[in-house]
A = this chain, B = another copy of it.
Amino acid sequence: MSSKPIGVFDSGVGGLTVSKEIMELLPHEAIVYLGDTARVPYGSKSPETITRYAFEGLKFLLSMNVKLVVIACNTVSATCLKELQNNSNVPVIGVIEPGARAAVRTTTSKKVGVIGTERTVKSKVYESAIKEIDSEIMILSKACPLFVPLIEEGWLDKEATYLTIAEYLMPLKKEGIDTLVLGCTHYPLLKPSIARVLGEEIKLVDCAKETARIVRETLESMGLLNQGDLPYEEKHKYYVTDNPEKFKEIGERFLNKKIEHIEKVRL
């Protein structure tokens, strides 16, 4: 049992979908969120740069005395999760492994689609993670760089958005996938729109939800869950490296609740 907070790291605002799922699943836990908004997006940066930034983020969260760190960013999880785990004295959980496991559970056709940023797709981490569990599954992946800006613009239900989704994803549907991994922490916000375009027969895997489950399992197994007497609504703290106003504005849409404590920091 531990009342220490859970650390959540992302390059920007996207990791809030993971925070939201953790809050729903573990309402007695406090969260320290770090968004590296001065340097977002990571997706188009080189592996060396991403790794350097991720270590700065990890160091900051460890200095906040967290009991577990979630790398709520597909790009970072894809690039340097192992190195982060090897250099942390608390558990470090990424978003790839949980999504991959859920995809394997879900597919029956054994054809799985994976979408994400350019970096995540190029890295083929989902492919490796899924094939490690079931080597017979065929993966069809597609980078969808327009989804993040559409989501941040709040265009979840526009004709242009549906056309963009169709342009990116209908080719995957035609190839016969029955499961689609939303391999970017922003994408859960677009889930209803993607479902509308692709239809019910394709199941969507939400990595944010799956990651929250693994966080619970890990804390449970280590006896580190908090025992519920904290006024948790006041416990969540948000740190960003730039533009707290914009983070608050977009972030409250992501969380569907108020962001109270927010502070700008330099890593």
Where the two chains meet, the residues of A that have a C-beta atom closer than 8 Å to any C-beta of B are 37-40, 44-46, 49, 145-146, 148-150, 152-153, 155, 158-161, 163-164, 167, 242-243, 246
Contact = CB atoms under 8 A, between A and B. Distances in A.
A152 B145 contact: yes
Contact of A243 (B39, B44, B167): B44
B167 A158 contact: yes
A238 B124 CA distance: 30
A133 to B, nearest CB: 32
A44 B145 CA distance: 17
A243 B45 contact: yes
Contacts of A152: 145
A213 B164 CA distance: 37
Contacts of A40: 44
B146 A153 contact: yes
Contacts of A163: 158-160, 163
Query: Which of A155, A158, A164: most chain B CB closer than 10 A?
Result: A164
A163 B146 CA distance: 14
A38 B150 CA distance: 22
Contacts of A153: 145-146
A125 to B, nearest CB: 19
24 contacts: A37-B44, A37-B45, A38-B39, A38-B45, A38-B49, A39-B39, A44-B242, A44-B243, A44-B246, A45-B242, A45-B243, A46-B242, A49-B242, A145-B149, A145-B153, A146-B146, A146-B149, A146-B160, A148-B149, A159-B163, A160-B160, A160-B164, A160-B167, A163-B163
A89 to B, nearest CB: 30
